[in-house]
Structure 1
């Protein structure tokens, strides 16, 4: 099984050369599915959603998305009353998709909130969704949301999504393997409680990079009880391998 995690595309603040390079590299990686971690747009405008959709459809691979906080309108009344209407209309009517595809079991959760625009939240209903949707056996159980559930070495003072403690407890109880996040625009990995792997992917194609980072995305290769995680980073002319980490599944969860 081969997956790619692409997040924080931020169409409306994209770099055209990076978009072109991202498309070419995702096609070359020949992944089974692209997982899109939110912030497809910069300002939740129709043309920005359309550009994101055009890119994803052009890869020729199944893809699954969750919304990010930038996929809510910036205008507060529109954010409160329209919410994710444009996302549902132009990207996917499901903001919390469940995918069962071969050995993959994926639950996507919508963490943006109009009243917590930056920080996001996972509520009790979403915790119950983790407990019910991720109970079935699968080769790889993946939980995906936009806001982070762990702090990266690059940004150690950033806030975590509200409700993170209950969500992590529920995910560990059903033996989730991977929790995929974005939002912070950095690439990082961590072993989470319960032996789960937490992954942050950087901004895939926008100019909104953090100091010391470039645009990046993540590729996952599962072979039995071994998982290889590769960060692919924009080098100025193409995406290239930045780092590769091997993980092994044990009775105590995943070990690096």
Structure 2
């Protein structure tokens, strides 16, 4: 099984050459599914959503996404009254998708809130969905949200999503393998409580890179109880392998 984790496209603040490179590399790497953890757009404009969908469809791969805080309008009345209106209309009417496909089980949660635009929140009803929808057997269980549930080594002072500890506990309780996050624009992976893997990727194709980082996305290759996480970053006008980490699963979860 091969998945691609792509996040923080920020169409509207994109580097056109990186967009083209990302499309070409996803086609070449041929993941079974592309998982997109939010911030498809920079300002939640219709044309930005359409450009993001066009990019994802052009890869020719199935894809699943959740909204990020930039996918809520920042400067329009819709932010208060219909914050995910454009997202639902142009991307997916369900901002919290559930995918069961072969051995893959994925649940996406919508973490942005109009009143917590940067920080985000996961509430009790969403935790209940984790406990219910991800309780069954699967080769790989993935939980995806935009805001991070762990701090990266690169940005150790960044805020976590409200409810982060509860999310990780719920994930561990039902045997989730990987929690995918975005928002911080860095590539990072850690072992969370319960042996769950926490994974972030950098901004996929925008100019909003952090110091010392480049645009990046991550491939997840599952082979039995081995999961290889390969960061592919933008260098010399192409996406190329930056690092690969091999994780092993046992009765105590995942270990490097």
The TM-score by the shorter chain falls in which range? over 0.9
Alignment of 1:127-138 (within 5 A): 127-138=127-138
Contact 2:78–2:85 (8 Å) recurs in 1: no
Counterpart of 1:115 in structure 2 is 115
| Greater CA drift, 162-171 or 149-158 | 162-171
Per the TM alignment, residue 77 of structure 1 is displaced from its structure 2 partner at its CA by 3.0
Task: Deviation per CA, 1:115-168: give whole Å up to 9, x if none.
Answer: 000000000000000000000100000000000000000000000000111111
Gaps of at least 5 residues in structure 2 are none
For the residue of structure 2 that corresponds to 1:194, the secondary structure is helix
Could you list the structure 1 runs, at least 4 aligned residues long, displaced by more than 2 angstroms after superposition.
Answer: none
Counterpart of 2:139 in structure 1 is 139
| Greater CA drift, 73-82 or 222-231 | 73-82
Contact 2:6–2:201 (8 Å) recurs in 1: yes
The answer to whether structure 1 residue 233 and structure 2 residue 229 are counterparts is: no
Gaps of at least 5 residues in structure 1 are none
Per the TM alignment, residue 76 of structure 1 is displaced from its structure 2 partner at its CA by 5.7
Counterpart of 2:37 in structure 1 is 37
Per the TM alignment, residue 78 of structure 1 is displaced from its structure 2 partner at its CA by 2.3
For the residue of structure 1 that corresponds to 2:77, the secondary structure is helix
TM (norm. structure 1) is 0.99
Task: Deviation per CA, 1:85-112: give whole Å up to 9, x if none.
Answer: 0000000001000000000000000000
Contact 2:220–2:227 (8 Å) recurs in 1: yes
Q: Tell me how large the CA RMSD over aligned residues is.
A: 0.6
Distance in 2, matches of 1:151 and 1:161, equals 10
Task: Deviation per CA, 1:50-75: give whole Å up to 9, x if none.
Answer: 00000000100100000000000012
- Length, aligned pairs only: 256
Distance in 1, matches of 2:147 and 2:76, equals 20
Distance in 2, matches of 1:124 and 1:168, equals 13
